Structure formats: C-alpha cells, structure tokens
C-alpha cells in the first residue's frame, strides 16, 4: 500500500540510532526497562518458564530489531517467532505446528473461487478437530493443539475477511508475522488480533513512542498478573467456604477480580508486539469502572468486541435495517451474544479438547445479552452522554459505576459456578451477618462511589495539554518496575510487618489457591468448568503438562469396589508399576509389607489410616513415610525393648467416615497400641465425594447417628429415581402435580458440603471413643498435599483433634517457606514425593518422641 | 463531485456526541473509535447521517477501521462520491 509505506518510512527510525542522541537515550531506557521486566518475571515466577524464555528472546530480539533497516524488520520478527516455537516445542511438534499453519495459509491463497477456498479450509479444520479429540490418530503432541487453535481459530476468519475485501497485501513476511506471532508460543489464551489493524498500524507513528507504549503495557500486564495472584492466593474463596454475608461478598468480588489474569496476559501479548512496531490498540480499558452494560462491553476484551462488531453486528444490522433500526439493533445484538456464547465453547474446544455447554454459561450470556439489548435501545432512544476528561467528580457516575460493578460481579459469579443450584445455595449465607460486617460493606460502597465518581481513563480531547509528571508514561513504568523488583528482595520484605510480608511472599508463589487445590482434591480437574478454564489457570496449566500415559488409580488395577459402607478398598496381594513406581499390597489389602494378624507381646504397633497421602500415591513401596518411620524407630530401638511395627491402612480417597468403618472392621483385629487417623484441610471434599457415591449407589449405612445427620440435611433416604428437580419446595410442588421427582446431583453435593462439618465431628469422636475402648491411643495426623495451604487450614484440628479426644500431630506447615515443587510427585500431582515422605517421617518421629508419655512409648534415656 | 465533508461530519459529531466540547479540540486526527467517542450505536447513527447527507451507500465491512478519525471519514466519503 502506497500510503502505508509512506507513513512507515516517515516514522520508523530507519537510520542508525547512533546518529541521534535522543534515540540512543530512549533506546537505552527501553533496554533497561525490559531488563527490569525480565527480573520481575524471574523473581515472581510469573506464568510459566516458557514465558520467561519468550520474554528474554523478545527483549534480545528487540535490541537487534530496533537497529535494523526497516525492510529487514518483518522477516527478522518472523525468524525470531519461529525460533520461539522451536525453543518451546520439540522440533517435531514445532514442525507440525508450522507445517499445518502453512497449509492453512496456502489454502487461503489458492487460485480458485473464494467460496471454494473457504470450503476447503472448513474441511481441513474439521479433520484437525477430529485429530484434536484423537478420533484421528496423528503423531502431533498434545501441547501443539491449544497453540495451533489459538493461532488459527479466529485469525484465519479475519484473514479471509480481509482477503475478501482486498485488504491483504502480497507480503509473505507480514502474513507469517500475523499468524506466527512470537507471544503465541507461551499464551494459548490470545487476543483476537484484527488483520487489517495489524497491517494498517504497523509503524504508523513514531517508532520510539510505539516501543515505549509496548513497554508500559508489558509492565501493566505484569502488575495485573501480580494483582491476580494476590487475589487468587489470598482472597479467592471456594463456594463451600461461603458461610456468611462477608464471605459471600468476598466470593462474588474476588471471582470477578480473577479476570485480571486474562487482561494481564493480553497486555503482555500486545505490549510485546508493540516492541516490534505493531501499534495495536489497547485490549482492555478500566473495565472494573464500567458505568453500564454497553460501557462494559466497550471496555472488556476490546478486540473481541471489535471482532464481533466487524463480523456479526454490522453485517446483521445492515441486512436487517430495512425493517427498522430498533428491530435491527435488537436482532444484531442478540446475534452477537449468541455467536459469542457458541464461539466461547468453540475456543475451549481447541484449547481443552472439550465443548462446554453449561447452564450457567447459557444464563450468563443470555442475561448479559438481554441487558445489552435493553441498554442499547435506551441509548439509541435517548443518546449517551460521553464522559470526557474535562468532567469533574460526579456522584451519579460513582453510583452507576458501583452498581454496575456489583451487578457484573454477581453475574460473573453465576458464570463461574459449577451449577445454578450450587450458586443459589451459596446465597443462603447472605442472611447471616453481623452489624460490623454490614457496617464494613456500607463503608466499602461509599469508598467505591468516592473513587468511581472520577472520570478515570475518559477520552481527553486536549491531547496537546501538558501531561502532569505523575502521568508520565516512562516515569510510571520505571517506578512500577523498581517497586516490584524491590519488594521481591527478601532484605526489603524483612522490614515490613509479618502480615504484609506474608502477602508479598505469596506473590512469588506460582502454586494453586486453596479453592483450586480443593478442586484438585475433588478430582474435578479432568473436567474443568468455566471457572477452571478462565480463572483457575494455574491448575489448568499444570494439568496441561500431564502426559497422556499418566494414570489414576482405578478398579481395573488396584481398587476393589463394594456395595457396602466402605465402597472401595485395596486388592490384597497385588503389585503393579503405577506411573513408574512399584505399588504393592500385602495379603490384608494394605499398602505395606506383610504383617501377622497376631501381635507378639514385645511388639508396639502403630496403625495409620487415611487417604492417598497416607497410602503413598506416587512413590515406591519402600518410600512411603510409614516404612521410613518404621525403619528409623527400629534402628534407634524405639520404643525401648520392643519391636515396632507401623501398619499402613491408607486407601486412595478415603474420607473420615470410611476410616470409621475400616477401623472397626479391620484395624482393631491387629490390636494396635496407637491409631493415627489422617486428614487434611480438604476433609469436606473427601466427605462430599465419598457420600455422593455412597448415597447415589444406595449402599447401606450401618451408623444410626450418621443417618440422623444425613436425614437432618435432607439427604437420607436418598431417592435416586424420577425427574431431577432442584429445591425441596419445588419437588413438593411436583409431587402435588403427580410428578415423581428427585434431588439434583448438584443439590445433594451442596447439602453434603453443608453437613460435612458435623459428619467429620461425628467420625472423629466415634473413632476416638472406639480406639480408647480398645486400649489404644488415638492420634489425629493433620497433613496436606504439597500445595499452598488454604486459609484457616489449622482451625479444624482443634475441633476434630483435641476436642474429640485425639492427640493432634500438626504437620500442615511441613513445607512452609520452601519451594513446593521440590516435594511434589509431578507438577500436575501434588502428592508428596519421596523427599516429602522422608520429611513426613522425620516430623512424625519428632511428634512421637514429643508425645512419648501419652503414647506409652519408652524412649529409653534419650529423652528430648 | 467533491463536497466539503469534514466540517459537516465534525459538526454532526460535536452536536450529537460531544455537546459542550470545544470544537477546536476535535481535530482531523482525533481517534474517534479508540477514544470511545464513536461506539457501535454512534457509528450506526453516523452511517445514517453520511448516507443521507451525502447520498452514498456504505457497506458493513467499511465500518471496522475506516471511521476512526475525521480524516478517514472524509477519505471514505470522498471515495464514494460520484466524480464530476
């Protein structure tokens, strides 16, 4: 294009920068800023390791690219991007990705009719979709699909649109640069970049300004990712944690705030592209400060909005406007939201391999679309007052913005919910509130109105005005980067109070939040929902690394299922190699060496019950902590004059009620001196998962007290036939109408969650009493997977330990202050590895010695 | 047939979307879409105005990136106007 090349030549620094002092200075500042940004990524372990390499490659590439003559820059960017792909993938996978991409691009340019080209691309796309779900066998690695999808699923449509309207110039390097953009290597969730904008805005302004904007967006992205982590690790709640009004507000607000991750990533992507001359527009604009639904649509994911406007809204409106503008607006808006909903699922198909269509998803897009139609018609009739920077603080704007934030946060929480029932169930907590909670909430609303009343980020037509020093882009970039680097230094953090220090330390933790850790415990990570897809991306990323050969423990290998209260147990005398680790059971169905049922008088027996953490998922037989402990006690002749035996009764997935049954059915027969009950802060998840299965399978419950708790919670007897209808009142209505109804699966889960505390209390008290009645000492071993601990992780120990008459051994803080990845079986498996088990054994050894008198252990003269 | 497009468009935008703003601040290169002055509804209103005022017909694909400034609008309209 003649115009474009003229602009490009005028603005790009095509001369060597050494000739201009200002250029040298700005170049040096940019390099320094990128260096600091890399330091921040490194210090805070932001995103994944690939991202650090890509960022480093981009920074180095920028240093060369900016010095090249203009004609060489696009080819250099393409070469850099291809290098990035080769570094991030195996050579074979990189070749597949680029090869498939080249075929798709070539199809766009075939010298045949446009409609035939589109048809061919649809056919190839369909074949690729079959390969994506492995319906067609290919040697393509699993990591290729999300990136291939993110590159082509929308950009190909925009490229074809540009081709159709003659906006594609015959420039191979530009086309390759458009599809194989360097940041794509590490970000599967990628903004929908418009080809026409990508082409038109290339070096269309002063190059140094474009680079500086890029750096400032990178810094903004990093800052948003850190804010996301702050919220994600410290404030986000799981729906089962919502117990009162304060929790409910916290859940709703933080769920919305978790979107910071997406906007942070998009800022990074576009910022990196700006470093190579692509002056792309802002992707998000202060979306938490939207003052109406249409305003929100304009501010959040702007690229998606533009994509929908271009391909759906305007074409729909133009084809319908003969029937009247109002009707055309309604139908075009409805079409946008229907298509957005479908394409959202289409996007997750390429990223995750599934096509999620859930009720919350349908409701979210439906409600948002309805509000958008209503607001659009209202604005169409009455007009919209533009908020420009010349306006001062305005209470009406503050009220509207706070009201909109609350509405959107509630809608977002609905979208993130696993089910409507679970979401509605959570709102019951809103009725439980103290006066101080209400006062704090009112205070927060007033603060919100005071802040939101200013026209933040409103268009400023006075572009020639002098910018105040605090708004200077370069200054803000360096102040932010320096601040982040400083707080990442331990010496600086030491000066802060403990609570603040903990918060800052959490920013350097790339692990899972308690909510996602609970999801993992619940076993939901295999079928991630919207929340998992959008928000729990740390979990998603970890799961993405899991090789397809990695297996779960199942009935076709070591687990047996029963139609009784235990539901499952380990097969006796079974041995197999599980994910590379020798996993065996003895003749009693224990993951342990062989023991005789009879206990000799000179033997001191410790029986340990618990879930997978006790059973030792992910380590070899000899590495499980009970064996390590037994060896050490034997070596050190503790208890004095006795032979020690540590019996492992752990079974994968065992919840507290199962431990009750196992204890009574099997453990007491071995006449243990000490019985250790193992549980983690995720006891609710264990109980919920177990009871769901027990109740829905209709297995008998031999404990009247437990039956009474379940009956009180509306869970027993469980009717599993009839039409699933949520809420007891609706089921009563259905019954009047003669419809045979039953509880929904989600409602039963919510009800079990609500009763789980009482069930855990009953389980521990019963076990404590039974163990003492059998002459043994009961111990509660509190242990957790190698994940960041949830809030209030220690609270339950008092209630289920000391209060229930058990001696608590609190090993929850075993990994405090250490790199958790060193103690995990794998990035996608948070069970302790061999090193973790050795730490558990050492800690247990210390606890045994500490409580030697209570446990009746004679440690000889070597008292602590 | 060339017409004086920019003043008419400028006064339309000022009157409809920026009442009370200083006309001198709306320059030929002021970004209308990126700044939020022209949103989807405003774009449709502008399209109706351009079509009626200048007797031209716009197509949906022309709205995406060709109305972002007064200069771009003028260029688009001039290209559509019949040559004398």
Map tokens 């790009």 to a residue: A12
Q: Is A20 helix (H, G, I), strand (E, B) or coil?
A: coil
Q: Is A139 helix (H, G, I), strand (E, B) or coil?
A: coil
Selecting from A309, A329, A386 the residue whose C-beta is nearest the C-beta of B18 gives: A386
Asked whether the beta carbons of residue B41 and residue A329 sit closer than 8 angstroms, the reply is: yes
Selecting from B26, B39, B40 the residue whose C-beta is nearest the C-beta of A461 gives: B26
Selecting from B37, B41, B42 the residue whose C-beta is nearest the C-beta of A459 gives: B37
* Number of A–B residue contacts, CB under 8 Å: 67
Asked whether the beta carbons of residue B59 and residue A318 sit closer than 8 angstroms, the reply is: yes
Handedness of CA A420, A422, A424, A427 (dihedral sign): negative
Mean pLDDT of A243-256: 93
Judge contact between A172 and A72, C-beta under 8 A. Answer: no
Question: Which of A534-538, A629-633, A646-650 has the lowest average pLDDT?
Answer: A534-538
Element (H or E) spanning A436, and its range?
helix A435-452
Of the pLDDT bands very low, low, confident and very high (cuts 50, 70, 90), residue A542 is low
Q: Tell me the pLDDT tens digit for each residue of A386-436.
A: 666 666 888 999 999 999 999 999 999 998 887 787 788 888 788 889 999
Contacting B with CB below 8 Å, chain A residues are 161, 165, 194, 196-197, 200, 281-282, 285, 294, 298, 306, 309-310, 313-315, 317-318, 325, 329, 376, 379-380, 383-384, 386, 388, 390, 458-459, 461-463
Of the pLDDT bands very low, low, confident and very high (cuts 50, 70, 90), residue A529 is very low
Handedness of CA A93, A94, A95, A97 (dihedral sign): positive
Say how far apart CA B3 and CA A383 lie, in whole Å.
28
Asked whether the beta carbons of residue B41 and residue A384 sit closer than 8 angstroms, the reply is: yes
Q: Write down the ipTM of this complex.
A: 0.92
Q: Give the rounded distance of the alpha carbon of A75 from its chain centre.
A: 36
Residues 6+ apart with CB under 8 A from A732: none
CB-side exposure of A530: number of CA atoms within 13 Å? 25
Of the pLDDT bands very low, low, confident and very high (cuts 50, 70, 90), residue A215 is very high
Say how far apart CA A590 and CA A572 lie, in whole Å.
7
Element (H or E) spanning A677, and its range?
strand A674-679
Burial of residue A738 (CB within 10 Å: 0-12, 13-18, 19+) is: exposed
Mean pLDDT of A244-254: 94
CB-side exposure of A240: number of CA atoms within 13 Å? 28
Of the pLDDT bands very low, low, confident and very high (cuts 50, 70, 90), residue A7 is very low
Site from A3, A297, A326, A461 to mutate, B interface, most B CB atoms within 10 angstroms: A461
Q: Look at phi and psi of residue B57 and say left if phi exceeds 0, alpha if psi is from -120 to 50, else beta.
A: beta
For residue A213, the distance in angstroms to the closest alpha carbon of chain B comes to 15
Q: Tell me the pLDDT tens digit for each residue of A293-314.
A: 999 998 999 999 999 999 999 9
CB-side exposure of A681: number of CA atoms within 13 Å? 25
Selecting from A285, A314, A459 the residue whose C-beta is nearest the C-beta of B60 gives: A314
Say how far apart CA A28 and CA A19 lie, in whole Å.
14
Site from A386, A455, A457 to mutate, B interface, most B CB atoms within 10 angstroms: A386
For residue A319, the distance in angstroms to the closest alpha carbon of chain B comes to 9
Q: What is the pLDDT of residue A15?
A: 46
Q: Is A660 helix (H, G, I), strand (E, B) or coil?
A: helix
B-chain CB neighbours of A313 within 8 Å are 40
For residue A314, the distance in angstroms to the closest alpha carbon of chain B comes to 5
A-chain CB neighbours of B64 within 8 Å are 194, 196, 306, 309-310, 314
For residue B68, the distance in angstroms to the closest alpha carbon of chain A comes to 11
Beta bridge partners of A570: A559
Judge contact between B28 and B69, C-beta under 8 A. Answer: yes
Element (H or E) spanning A607, and its range?
strand A603-609
Scored b (16 or more CB within 10 A) or e, A344-360 reads: bebbbbbbbeeebebeb
Q: What is the pLDDT of residue A791?
A: 62
Say how far apart CA A821 and CA A510 lie, in whole Å.
10
CA torsion, ordered A347, A349, A353, A357, to nearest 10 deg: 120
Asked whether the beta carbons of residue A329 and residue B30 sit closer than 8 angstroms, the reply is: no
Selecting from A315, A379, A461 the residue whose C-beta is nearest the C-beta of B21 gives: A461
Element (H or E) spanning A504, and its range?
helix A498-507
Nearest CA in chain B to A283: B34
Q: Helices in A165-290 by DSSP H: which ranges?
A: 172-179, 195-200, 207-234, 245-257, 260-274
Q: Tell me the pLDDT tens digit for each residue of A37-75.
A: 999 999 998 987 788 999 999 999 999 999 999 999 999
Judge contact between A271 and A279, C-beta under 8 A. Answer: no
For residue A471, the distance in angstroms to the closest alpha carbon of chain B comes to 18
Say how far apart CA A154 and CA A817 lie, in whole Å.
43
Contacting A with CB below 8 Å, chain B residues are 16-18, 21-22, 25-26, 30, 34-37, 39-42, 44, 48, 59-61, 63-65
B-chain CB neighbours of A280 within 8 Å are none
Mean pLDDT of A313-338: 93
Measured between alpha carbons, how far is residue A185 from residues A58, A97, A753, B11 in Å? 11, 11, 41, 47
Of the pLDDT bands very low, low, confident and very high (cuts 50, 70, 90), residue A556 is low
Q: DSSP labels for A44-86?
A: TT-S-HHHHHHHHHHHHHHHHHTTS-HHHHHHHHHHHHHHHHH
Does residue A331 have a pLDDT over 60? yes
Say how far apart CA A177 and CA A198 lie, in whole Å.
10
Does residue B46 have a pLDDT over 70? yes
Handedness of CA A210, A213, A217, A218 (dihedral sign): positive
Q: Tell me the pLDDT tens digit for each residue of A562-583.
A: 999 999 999 999 999 999 999 9
Look up residue B27 and give its DSSP letter. -
Asked whether the beta carbons of residue A161 and residue B61 sit closer than 8 angstroms, the reply is: yes
Q: Is A180 helix (H, G, I), strand (E, B) or coil?
A: coil
Scored b (16 or more CB within 10 A) or e, A209-232 reads: ebbbbbbbbbbbbbbbbbbbbbbb
Q: Which is more confidently placed, A235 or A609? A: A609
Mean pLDDT of A651-658: 95
Mean pLDDT of A847-858: 93
Mean pLDDT of A275-290: 94
B-chain CB neighbours of A309 within 8 Å are 40, 63-64
Asked whether the beta carbons of residue A315 and residue B44 sit closer than 8 angstroms, the reply is: no
Judge contact between A327 and A339, C-beta under 8 A. Answer: no
B-chain CB neighbours of A282 within 8 Å are 34
Q: Helices in A636-717 by DSSP H: which ranges?
A: 656-662, 683-697, 704-712
Does residue A720 have a pLDDT over 90? no
Site from B26, B40, B48, B72 to mutate, A interface, most A CB atoms within 10 angstroms: B40
Does residue A525 have a pLDDT over 80? no
Mean pLDDT of A793-799: 85
Asked whether the beta carbons of residue B42 and residue A384 sit closer than 8 angstroms, the reply is: yes
Query: Considering chain A, what percentage of its residues have pLDDT values greater than 70?
Result: 90
Does residue A601 have a pLDDT over 70? yes
Judge contact between A96 and A128, C-beta under 8 A. Answer: no
Asked whether the beta carbons of residue B37 and residue A386 sit closer than 8 angstroms, the reply is: yes
Q: DSSP labels for A699-724?
A: -----HHHHHHHHHTT-SSPP-SSEE
A-chain CB neighbours of B44 within 8 Å are 317, 325, 329
Q: What share of chain B is helix, strand, coil (3-state, %, to 5)?
A: 55, 0, 45
Asked whether the beta carbons of residue A313 and residue B40 sit closer than 8 angstroms, the reply is: yes
For residue A292, the distance in angstroms to the closest alpha carbon of chain B comes to 13
- Which tokens hold the place of A669? 């027969």
Say how far apart CA A201 and CA A279 lie, in whole Å.
5
Asked whether the beta carbons of residue A314 and residue B42 sit closer than 8 angstroms, the reply is: no
For residue B79, the distance in angstroms to the closest alpha carbon of chain A comes to 15
For residue A165, the distance in angstroms to the closest alpha carbon of chain B comes to 8
Judge contact between A459 and B13, C-beta under 8 A. Answer: no
Q: Tell me the pLDDT tens digit for each residue of A454-513.
A: 888 777 666 555 667 677 888 999 999 999 999 999 899 888 888 888 888 888 877 667
Direct distance between the N- and C-terminal alpha carbons of chain B, in angstroms, rounded to an integer: 4
Judge contact between A488 and A44, C-beta under 8 A. Answer: yes
Map tokens 């949103």 to a residue: B39
Of the pLDDT bands very low, low, confident and very high (cuts 50, 70, 90), residue A548 is low
- Which tokens hold the place of A465? 């005005």
Beta bridge partners of A241: none
Direct distance between the N- and C-terminal alpha carbons of chain A, in angstroms, rounded to an integer: 83
A-chain CB neighbours of B59 within 8 Å are 318
Asked whether the beta carbons of residue A306 and residue B64 sit closer than 8 angstroms, the reply is: yes
Residues 6+ apart with CB under 8 A from B25: A461, A462
Of the pLDDT bands very low, low, confident and very high (cuts 50, 70, 90), residue A863 is very low
Does residue A440 have a pLDDT over 50? yes
Does residue A546 have a pLDDT over 80? no
For residue A311, the distance in angstroms to the closest alpha carbon of chain B comes to 8
Give the angle A29-A282-A87 at the CA atoms, nearest 5°: 65
Measured between alpha carbons, how far is residue A659 from residues A53, A652, A737 in Å? 47, 11, 43
Asked whether the beta carbons of residue B44 and residue A461 sit closer than 8 angstroms, the reply is: no
Q: Is A353 helix (H, G, I), strand (E, B) or coil?
A: coil
Judge contact between A633 and A646, C-beta under 8 A. Answer: yes
> Cβ–Cβ contacts within 10 Å for residue A137, how many?
8
Asked whether the beta carbons of residue A309 and residue B40 sit closer than 8 angstroms, the reply is: yes
A-chain CB neighbours of B42 within 8 Å are 384
């Amino acid at each position: 294009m003649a115009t474009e090349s003229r602009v490009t030549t005028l603005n790009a620094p095509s001369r060597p920068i050494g000739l201009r002092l200002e250029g040298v200075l700005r170049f040096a500042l940019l390099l320094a800023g990128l260096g600091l940004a890399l330091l921040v990524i490194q210090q805070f372990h932001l995103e994944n390791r690939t991202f650090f390499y890509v960022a480093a490659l981009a920074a180095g590439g920028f240093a060369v690219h900016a010095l090249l003559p203009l004609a060489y820059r696009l080819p250099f960017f393409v070469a850099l991007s291809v290098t990035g792909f080769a570094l991030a993938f195996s050579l074979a996978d990189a070749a597949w990705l680029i090869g498939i991409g080249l075929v798709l691009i070539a199809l766009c340019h075939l010298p045949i009719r446009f409609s035939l080209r589109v048809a061919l691309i649809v056919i190839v796309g369909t074949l690729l979709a079959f390969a994506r779900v492995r319906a067609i066998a290919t040697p393509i690695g699993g990591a290729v699909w999300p990136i291939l999808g993110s590159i082509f699923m929308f950009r190909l449509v925009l490229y074809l649109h540009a081709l159709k309207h003659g906006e594609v110039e015959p420039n191979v390097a530009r086309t390759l640069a458009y599809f194989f953009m360097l940041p794509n290597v590490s970000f599967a969730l990628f903004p929908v970049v418009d080809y026409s904008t990508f082409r038109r805005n290339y070096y269309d302004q002063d190059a140094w300004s474009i680079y500086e904007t890029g750096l400032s967006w990178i810094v903004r992205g990093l800052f948003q990712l850190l804010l996301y982590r702050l919220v994600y690790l410290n404030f986000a709640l799981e729906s089962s944690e919502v117990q009162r009004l304060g929790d409910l507000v916290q859940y709703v607000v933080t769920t919305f705030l978790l979107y910071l991750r997406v906007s942070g990533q998009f800022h990074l992507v576009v910022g990196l592209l700006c470093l190579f001359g692509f002056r792309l527009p802002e992707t998000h604009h202060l979306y938490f400060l939207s003052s109406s639904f249409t305003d929100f649509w304009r501010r959040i994911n702007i690229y998606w909005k533009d994509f929908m406007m271009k391909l759906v809204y305007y074409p729909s409106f133009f084809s319908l406007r003969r029937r009247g503008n109002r009707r055309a607006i309604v139908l075009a808006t409805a079409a946008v939201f229907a298509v957005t909903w479908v394409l959202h699922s289409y996007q997750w198909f390429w990223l995750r391999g599934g096509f999620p269509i859930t009720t919350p998803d349908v409701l979210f897009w439906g409600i948002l679309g309805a509000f958008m139609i209503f607001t659009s018609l209202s604005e169409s009739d009455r007009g919209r007052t533009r908020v420009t920077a010349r306006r001062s603080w305005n209470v009406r704007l503050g009220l509207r913005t706070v009201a909109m934030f609350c509405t959107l946060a509630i809608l977002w929480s609905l979208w993130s919910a696993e089910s409507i029932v679970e979401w509605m169930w959570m709102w019951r907590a809103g009725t439980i509130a103290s006066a101080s909670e209400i006062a704090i909430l009112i205070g927060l609303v007033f603060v919100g109105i005071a802040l939101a009343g200013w026209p933040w980020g409103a268009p400023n037509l006075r572009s020639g005005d002098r910018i105040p020093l605090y708004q200077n882009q370069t200054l803000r970039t360096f102040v932010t980067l320096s601040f982040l680097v400083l707080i990442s230094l331990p010496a600086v953090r030491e000066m802060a109070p403990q609570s603040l220090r903990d918060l800052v330390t959490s920013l350097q933790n790339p692990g899972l939040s308690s909510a996602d850790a609970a999801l993992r415990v619940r076993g939901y990570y295999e079928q991630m929902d919207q929340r998992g897809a959008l928000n729990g991306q740390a979990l998603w990323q970890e799961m993405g690394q899991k090789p397809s050969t990695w297996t779960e423990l199942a009935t076709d290998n070591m687990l047996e299922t029963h139609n009784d209260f235990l539901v499952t147990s380990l097969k006796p005398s079974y041995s197999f190699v599980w994910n590379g680790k020798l996993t065996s059971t003895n003749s009693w169905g224990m993951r342990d060496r062989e023991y005789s049922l009879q206990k000799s008088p000179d033997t001191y027996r410790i029986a340990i019950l618990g879930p997978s953490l006790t059973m030792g998922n992910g380590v070899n037989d000899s590495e499980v902590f009970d064996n390590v402990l037994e060896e050490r006690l034997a070596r050190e002749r503790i208890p004095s004059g006795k032979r020690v035996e540590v019996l492992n009764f752990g079974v994968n997935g065992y919840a507290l009620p199962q431990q009750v049954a196992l204890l009574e059915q099997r453990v007491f027969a071995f006449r243990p001196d000490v019985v250790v009950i193992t549980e983690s802060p995720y006891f609710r998840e264990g109980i919920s998962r177990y009871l769901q299965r027990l109740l829905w399978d209709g297995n008998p419950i031999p404990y009247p007290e437990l039956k009474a708790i379940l009956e009180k919670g509306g869970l027993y007897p469980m009717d599993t036939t009839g039409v699933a209808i949520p809420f007891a009142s609706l089921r009563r209505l259905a019954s009047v109408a003669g419809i045979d109804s039953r509880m929904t699966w989600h409602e039963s889960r919510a009800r079990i969650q609500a009763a789980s505390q009482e069930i855990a209390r009953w389980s521990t008290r019963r076990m404590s009493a039974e163990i003492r009645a059998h002459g043994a000492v009961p111990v509660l071993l509190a242990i957790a997977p190698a994940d960041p601990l949830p809030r209030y992780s220690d609270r339950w120990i008092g209630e289920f330990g000391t209060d229930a008459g058990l001696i608590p051994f609190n090993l929850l803080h075993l990994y405090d202050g250490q790199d958790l990845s060193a103690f995990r079986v794998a990035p996608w498996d948070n069970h302790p590895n061999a090193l973790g088990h050795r730490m558990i054994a050492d800690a247990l050894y210390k606890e045994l010695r500490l409580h030697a008198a209570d446990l009746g252990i004679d440690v000889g003269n070597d008292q602590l | 047939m060339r017409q004086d497009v920019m003043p008419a468009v400028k006064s339309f935008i000022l009157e409809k979307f920026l009442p009370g703003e200083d006309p001198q601040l709306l320059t030929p290169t002021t970004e209308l879409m990126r700044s939020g002055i022209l949103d989807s509804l405003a774009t449709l209103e502008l399209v109706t105005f351009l079509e009626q005022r200048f007797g031209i017909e716009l197509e949906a694909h022309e709205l995406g990136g060709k109305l972002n400034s007064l200069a771009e609008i003028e260029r688009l309209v001039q290209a559509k106007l019949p040559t004398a």
